[in-house]
Each structure stands twice: as C-alpha cells, then as structure tokens.
C-alpha cells in the first residue's frame, strides 16, 4: 500500500519522541572521530510545510512541536531538538518541520554518511528535490561533499541488507514504517533479525504506534528477545485513548544496542514531556531497559 503520507502527521507528539531520541543517538555516535552511517528505511519527504497542504488539515503539530516551541525551560535534550527545528525556521515562526532525514543531516558531520530509502513515488521525488536544494545552498559550486547523502527510491526493508555492515562498522538504522498493514510488524522483526547477523554492533531504533491491535502490543516483546547487547523501550502517551479506538494517543521508540547515556537522559526528559504535552490524566510514559528490567512510569494528573 502506498496511500500513507507522513505530512498529515508531521510534528506531532510521535515525531517529537522519535526525533528527540534519534538526535541523541547521533550525538553519542559523534563523540568519536570515526565516521558513522545513518540508514533510514522509511525516509518520507524530508521536510514538511506546517502552514499549508497536508500538515495543516489536522494540524497535529499543535499537540507536538508547538508545545515546545516557545518554552524557556527546555531540558538539554529537548533544547537540542528544538534547535534543529529552528534551523528550518530562522525567522522564529514555526512554518516548517524536519523529518528524520533532515534531523540526521543537521547533526551529522562531514565524514558521516546518510542513506535514505523511500518507496512512495511522490514522497521520493520530494525527498530528492529537498536534498538537491539543500546541497545547492551548502555547496553552490557542486563539489566537496561527494556521496555523503544517497537516496534510494525503493523498499527500505529490502535495501537495508546491501548496506550492512557499513565500512566504518559504526552506525544507526532507523526503522519507522507506516504500519498501515499488519505485515509491517512482521517485516520489522524479520529485518532486524537479519540485520543483527550482518551488523551485530549497530544501533537500531524502531518507532511504533501503541495501539489496541495485537501486532502493536506484541512487537516490543518480540524485539526484547533479539540477540543483542541490550535494549531500551520508551513510550509517550499524551491522552486517554478514545472509546472508539481512533487516533494516535501513544507511541514508542525501541532501541537495540542503545548507548549508556540514553536511559538517564530519558529519565529526566520524559516527565517533562508528559507535563508539557499531556492533555488529561491518561498522559504518561514508560521506560524500561534490558539491563535492569525495571520499569519507570509517570502520569500527569490534571
């Protein structure tokens, strides 16, 4: 199915969680001089206009990035994330939102590599045009950056195999399919199992919706059983689920082989996100890791 367009959801609470975690993972990788590779299996369009088009129809960003935009009390990790968004909005007005590819590009160094997959033909063209424009702005003479960013118009689940392991043996694989069809859950599990055989020391970050459907509930437990050095699972809930089950009220990021810095950062950050983005007493978070097996929970009371 190719009906999903992330532009409808750009900048919502799920994007906030996904991109906050992604930026912190890349900050950690950047602490060593050795280059790393970022592989995004479902890259989307790269950047989204919030003041028109798809994003303005439901204005989901108002429950996400907008709640952080003008705050002066941001924790360090949240401030880094908002700074990345501000790079697309230098006049201070929130008009554009960066998808995962732009978040990664903003954090990466010259020696690092970004490999993007997008199957949807329209989003693939927009993604290509966006990065061509970005390259022209940064490098008007058209030399010096080489193959830093490469875009593949195809299936990221299938294309990932050919890129593992990366030459430097350091990297992050971001997997966030639309989950429109049940088979996406199976493909996530199978893809990571295969990837860990090829690149066992890589970091894998999986975004997933927290829904009532069985496949969504089972995915984290299946990922916990992967043969890896450890895992971390964090979820953010912004409101009580509606009786009809419609709407995304909660999402998670599951990280395999996480850096040791991630869990303490999230322990500080998640209560803040619940306070700022939660809308009723059902708001909260969970944070668990494979090392401690302890579960932290937080709930906002209003």
Q: pLDDT digits over 264-276, tens only?
A: 999 999 999 999 9
- Is the residue at 259 inside a domain? yes
Tell me the CA distances in angstroms from 272 to 150, 203, 282, 284, 289, one per residue in order: 36, 26, 15, 10, 20
Rounded to 10 degrees, the C-alpha dihedral 127/95/109/170 comes to: -60
Look at residues 222, 194, 219 and name the one whose alpha carbon lies nearest to residue 207.
Answer: 219
Say if residue 9 carries a ligand binding annotation. Answer: no
- Is the residue at 251 inside a domain? yes
Say if residue 91 carries a ligand binding annotation. Answer: no
Q: Is the pLDDT of residue 29 over 90?
A: yes
Tell me the CA distances in angstroms from 118 to 121, 126, 142, one per residue in order: 8, 10, 24
51 is catalytic: no
Domain coverage including residue 37: 14-47+98-139+146-290
- Token pair in block for residue 22: 């992604």
Query: How is residue 265 annotated by DSSP?
Result: H
Cα 166 to chain centroid, rounded: 20
Q: Is the pLDDT of residue 144 over 70?
A: no
- Is the residue at 189 inside a domain? yes
Q: Which residue has the tokens 């306070």?
A: 275
Say if residue 19 carries a ligand binding annotation. Answer: yes
Which residues are within 8 A (CB) of 113 and not within 5 positions of it... i.e. 6 or more apart?
Answer: 35, 36, 37, 38, 147, 148, 149, 150, 166
- Is the residue at 9 inside a domain? no
Q: Which residues does residue 116 pair with via DSSP β-bridges, in sequence order?
A: 40, 151
266-296 burial by CB neighbour count: b if 16+ within 10 A, else e? beebbbbbbebbbeeebbbbbbbbbeeeeeb
Q: Is the pLDDT of residue 74 over 80?
A: yes
- Is the residue at 53 inside a domain? no
Confidence label for 298 from pLDDT (cuts 50, 70 and 90): low
Indicate which residue of 15, 40, 123, 176 is catalytic. 176
Mean pLDDT of 162-185: 95
Q: Sign of torsion, CA 263 276 209 8?
A: negative
Gyration radius of the chain's alpha carbons? 18
Say if residue 156 carries a ligand binding annotation. Answer: yes
- Is the residue at 70 inside a domain? no
Q: Sign of torsion, CA 102 104 108 111?
A: negative
Q: Is the pLDDT of residue 50 over 50?
A: yes
Look at residues 38, 11, 6, 2 and name the one whose alpha carbon lies nearest to residue 202.
Answer: 38
The answer to whether the pTM exceeds 0.85 is yes
Look at residues 268, 271, 262 and name the one whose alpha carbon lies nearest to residue 292.
Answer: 262
Say if residue 183 carries a ligand binding annotation. Answer: no
CATH number at residue 115: 3.40.50.150
Report the alpha-carbon distance of residue 79 to residue 68 in Å, rounded: 9
Coil, helix or strand at residue 37: strand
pLDDT value of position 247: 78
Q: Is the pLDDT of residue 228 over 70?
A: yes
Q: Give how many domains the chain has, as a whole number.
A: 1
Q: Is the pLDDT of residue 101 over 70?
A: yes
Confidence label for 245 from pLDDT (cuts 50, 70 and 90): low
pLDDT value of position 213: 87
Q: What is the mean pLDDT of the chain?
A: 90
Say if residue 13 carries a ligand binding annotation. Answer: no
- Is the residue at 225 inside a domain? yes
- Is the residue at 35 inside a domain? yes
Q: In this structure, what are the phi and psi dihedrals at residue 191, rounded to the nearest 5 degrees? A: -65, -45
């Amino acid at each position: 199915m190719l009906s999903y367009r992330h532009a409808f959801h750009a900048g919502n609470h799920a994007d906030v969680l996904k991109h906050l975690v992604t930026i912190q993972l890349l900050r950690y990788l950047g602490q060593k001089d050795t280059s790393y590779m970022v592989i995004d299996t479902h890259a989307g369009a790269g950047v989204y206009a919030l003041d028109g088009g798809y994003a303005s129809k439901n204005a989901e960003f108002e429950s996400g990035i907008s709640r952080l935009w003008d705050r002066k009390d941001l924790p360090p990790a949240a401030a880094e994330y908002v700074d990345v968004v501000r790079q697309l909005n230098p006049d201070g007005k929130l008009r554009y939102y960066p998808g995962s590819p732009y978040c990664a590009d903003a954090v990466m160094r010259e020696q690092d590599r970004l490999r993007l997959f997008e199957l949807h033909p329209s989003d693939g063209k927009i993604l290509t045009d966006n990065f061509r424009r970005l390259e022209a702005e940064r490098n008007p003479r058209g030399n010096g950056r080489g193959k830093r960013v490469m875009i593949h118009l195809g299936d990221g689940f299938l294309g990932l195999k050919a890129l593992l392991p990366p030459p430097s043996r350091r990297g992050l694989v971001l997997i966030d399919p639309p989950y429109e069809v049940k088979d996406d859950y199976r493909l996530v599990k199978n893809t990571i199992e295969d990837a860990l055989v090829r690149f066992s020391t890589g970091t894998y970050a999986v975004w997933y919706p927290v829904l009532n459907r069985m496949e969504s509930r089972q995915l984290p437990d299946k990922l916990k059983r992967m043969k890896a050095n450890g895992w971390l699972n964090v979820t953010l809930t912004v409101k009580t689920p509606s009786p009809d089950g419609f709407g995304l009220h909660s999402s998670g990021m599951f990280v395999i082989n996480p850096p040791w810095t991630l869990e303490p950062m999230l322990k500080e950050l998640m209560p803040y996100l619940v306070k700022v983005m939660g809308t009723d007493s059902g708001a909260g978070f969970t944070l668990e890791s494979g090392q401690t097996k302890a579960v932290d929970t937080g709930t906002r009371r209003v």
